Structure 1
Amino acid sequence: MTEKPLATIERLRQENKITKLTGIFEDKILTKGKGYAFAKQFFDETYTTRCHAKVTVFENDQYAVSVFASSNLTKNRRVENGVIISDRETAIWAKNYLISITNQDDNK
């Protein structure tokens, strides 16, 4: 995750387009530089796991959008693919499933 997507996320939070942000990161982030500490500044809840899935759930009072994609939140020139689903039931399922496989004691 790089600064540009985090800046966009922060702008959307300031505009109340995102009201809660939960981050689930591959556990390798704990041993690689300051990435996890940096990300924790932007997320309400953070978890780590061995899962390498790329799932992002954006929520506010009106919308719940889930993004399932092959890409990381970085700038790259590779061809990637993904699906965007905009219903709350899918967002709830995605969050609950991913949290169920995380290291619960990492939540801070």
Structure 2
Amino acid sequence: MAFALTTSDFALQEDTLLVAWVRKGEDIWVQSRIDLNEHIGSYNGEFDVASSGWFGWSRPGSSHLQGTVLFAQLMRPDGSWGPRTSIDLNLFIKNDNGALKFQKLFVKSVASDLLSSNLI
């Protein structure tokens, strides 16, 4: 994944849009954008990649990008503000031939691998 390896001048615009110049092929650069609000949610004051709509839970003016890390302060269900939370977009955003795409990580446990191979 690691979109930052094949992009330049990426920035957060309008609070939720990741915009970047993205390499397509060998020598072609195109502008691409992805709305992070459609792919990242909020759960108990933290970013959550299993849902969407984080921006509706964010404290006004708190969202910003520092390198590839998105920061915000998100509201908890009880109405209180959680501490500043962050998510490294390099773990979830990839360059798909000139288009920024969101891709969820799926982590399998070692025990699951061992069970499926009948080693335990």
User: Greater share of helix residues, 1 or 2?
Assistant: 1
What TM-score comes out, normalization by structure 1 length?
A: 0.25
User: Greater share of strand residues, 1 or 2?
Assistant: 2
- Rg (Cα) greater in structure: 2
What TM-score comes out, normalization by structure 2 length?
A: 0.24
